[in-house]
Structure 1
Amino acid sequence: MSVGQTKTTCCSRPTVGAGATEAFAMLATNEDFSGGHDAPLPYTYEGQGEMIEFKTTDGQTAKAFEIKSNVRSDKYLFVIHEWWGLNDYIKKEAATFANELKGVNIIALDLYDGQVAGTPDEAGKLMQAVKSERAEAIIKGALLHAGPNAKVSSVGWCFGGGWSLQTALLAGPKAVGCVMYYGMPEKDVAKLKTLNTDVLGIFATQDKWINPEVAAQFQKDMAAAKEKVTIKNYDADHAFANPSNPKYSKEFAAQAHAATLDYLRKNFKLKG
C-alpha cells in the first residue's frame, strides 16, 4: 500500500468525517479481507466463569462473560472479541488470563449484543451493524460495573484491538494498561494525549490491513502525543494469534502472549 492510501479494517476507527458504521460497512464488503478469515473451527468452552448483565449508559443493558478473582480485587482486565463476536474461543482466552493473572477480574465484553458469527459473511454483517455510540455505551457501562476504584487494563484482537485502545481512552484515570493485537490505532493525536496509560501494540509484518506503515504511524502519533507505546512486530499474518485461524502461528502467538502477560503483570503491579 503506497503512502497516502487508506484501507479500512476490522479494527478501524473511522477517519475524520466518516462514521464507524460506514467504516465497518466498507470493510464488510472487502472480499480480500473476508477471504483472509476462514470460519473458526468448532469449539465449546466448558469451564469457569458466567454470563452477567449490566446497565449501559444509553439506558439499555449489555452482557459479558465474567470470571471473578478468588480474592477481593479492584483490578479488571477487559477482553474484547474479534469480528466473530463473543464466542467460546474468547471465553477460553478469558479463562487463560484468569489463571495467569491471579487477583484480576476478567470481563469479556460483548459488543455485538449477543450475536456470534460462524462465517466471514455473518461476521462482516455483524461488524457492519456496530454503532460507535452503542459500543461506547457498553464499555462505559462495564467501567461503571467495575466500580469507582477500578484499575482497568484492556486487550483485544483485530476488531477488538481497535476497541481495546478506545477502552483505554474511555476509561480515563481508571486505565492502567492497554494491549492491542493488530487493531487499527486511534489517529487523533489530541485524543491520544488523554491516555492515562502506556500501550503495548502487537502487529504482524505480513498483515495487509494493519500493515507496518500503520504501526509506524501509530508510533509517531504516540510520540507526538508524548505517550509511551511499545511496538512488537512479528513476521506473521493478520490474526496470527488465533488458533482457529489458518494463519495461526503457534510460535509467534506464544511469544506475543508472553509479552502481553509480562506487560499486564507489570502494569497491574502483580507479584510473581
Structure 2
Amino acid sequence: MKIVFITGISFFMSLFSWFLPEQEETKIPVCHTAGNDMSAMAADPAFQRLHPAPLPFVYTGAGEMIKFSTPDGQSANAFFLKAKKPSNKWLLVYQEWWGLNDNIKKEAESYYNDLKDVNVMAVDMYDGKVATEPAEAGKLMQSASETRLESIQKGAIAYAGPKAEFASIGWCFGGMLSLKSALLEGKQAKGCVMYYGRPVQDVDKLKTLNTDVLGIFGSQDKGISPETVKTFEENMQKANKKITVKMYDAGHGFANPSNPVYNKEATADAYKLSLNYLKEKLKA
C-alpha cells in the first residue's frame, strides 16, 4: 500500500506540474533538462489534450518560402510576404506548436493585407517539420533546443537588416517566442503581441525590453493560467515596462478554429485589438 501511495503522488505531481507558476516549475527536475521554456509542458499529456489536431486546410494565397543564414552556421526557412512598396517595417510571425503550417501562413497574410506596406515574415522554428497530431507536436516542441530557436530568431532579425523596425506576434509556443523575439531585437523592437504564451518572468531580462507588450490571454486557460499572467504583469512593472493585458473569458487556444474552445467573438475582437496595436507601433 505504501508503494502504491508514493507512486500515485509522483504521477499526479508529473501530470499537474505545468499548472505551477514559472518559479515553482523550475524546482521540477524535468525543467532543468528541457530544450526550451515550454518543453516540460509539451511532454505533458494534459497539455497535449488542450490542442486537438488542426482541421485540414491548404493555403493558396500570396507569399513565398525563403531561406536565410543563422549565426550557428546553418540556415533557416520562413514564409515571406514582401511589402508592395519599399519598407523598413517588419512583422515577425511565430507559429503555434504545430510548426509553420498553412494556418499560420493564412494568419500572416491577413496581417499583411490589413497592415499594408509592411514586410511580414512567418519564421519556421522547426526547420521544415510540421505536426498534425498533438503527440507529434509535443515531441517537436520538446526537442526544439533553446540554442537553435534563438539562432533562428537572430537569423531572421539579421535578414531584415539593421535599419528594420520590428513588431512580433505569436500564439501559444509562438506567444513565448514573440516576447523572446522582442528581447533579441534590441532597439529595433517597436511592438510585441503574445497570445496565451508562456511569458519570460526574469525581471532583469525584462528590463532590456525596448517595447511595450500586448498580452492576450484566456481566464479559463489551464496552461498559461491567470495567476501566471498576473505574475508577468507584476514583473513587467518591476522592470519598469508597460504591458497591456486583455483577458478573455475563454480557454487556451481560443483563437484557433480547430480547437473545441474556439471563441469566434473573442478571436475577432483580439484580432482587431492586435491589428490596431500593430498599426500604431509600425505606423502603418
TM-score (norm 1): 0.93
Letter in 2 for 1:98: Y
Are residue 40 (structure 1) and residue 59 (structure 2) matched?
no
1:176 maps to which residue?
190
CA separation of 1:151/1:114 partners in 2, compared to 1, >3 Å: closer, same or farther? same
**Contact kept in structure 1, 2:175 and 2:195, CA below 8 Å:** yes
Give SS of 1:232's match: strand
Return the alpha-carbon distance in structure 1 between the equivalents of residues 119 and 95 of structure 2. 17
2:236 maps to which residue?
222
Return the alpha-carbon distance in structure 2 between the equivalents of residues 251 and 51 of structure 1. 32
1:59 maps to which residue?
73
- Which consecutive residues of structure 1, in runs of 5 or more, have no partner in the other structure? none
Return the alpha-carbon distance in structure 1 between the equivalents of residues 37 and 183 of structure 2. 20
2:165 maps to which residue?
151
**Which residue of 273, 279, 282 corresponds with 1:259?**
273
Give SS of 1:7's match: helix
Are residue 102 (structure 1) and residue 116 (structure 2) matched?
yes
Q: Count residues with an aligned counterpart.
A: 264
**Contact kept in structure 2, 1:177 and 1:199, CA below 8 Å:** yes
Instruction: Kindly state the Cα deviation for residue 171 of structure 1 after the two structures are TM-superposed.
Output: 0.5
Q: Which has the larger radius of gyration?
A: 2
Give SS of 1:21's match: coil
Return the alpha-carbon distance in structure 2 between the equivalents of residues 134 and 161 of structure 1. 17
Q: Which digits, 9 at most, give the CA deviation of each residue in 1:217-238, with x for residues without a partner?
A: 1110000000000000000000
2:151 maps to which residue?
137
Q: Which digits, 9 at most, give the CA deviation of each residue in 1:80-116, with x for residues without a partner?
A: 0000000000000000011000111000001100000
2:4 maps to which residue?
none
Return the alpha-carbon distance in structure 2 between the equivalents of residues 245 and 6 of structure 1. 23
1:233 maps to which residue?
247
Return the alpha-carbon distance in structure 1 between the equivalents of residues 245 and 37 of structure 2. 25
Letter in 2 for 1:7: W
RMSD in angstroms over aligned alpha carbons?
A: 1.9
Instruction: Kindly state the Cα deviation for residue 247 of structure 1 after the two structures are TM-superposed.
Output: 1.2
Instruction: Kindly state the Cα deviation for residue 27 of structure 1 after the two structures are TM-superposed.
Output: 2.1
Return the alpha-carbon distance in structure 1 between the equivalents of residues 36 and 154 of structure 2. 22
**Pairs within 5 Å for 1:75-90:** 75-90=89-104
**Contact kept in structure 2, 1:177 and 1:264, CA below 8 Å:** yes
Identical aligned pairs, as a percentage? Answer: 53
1:31 maps to which residue?
45
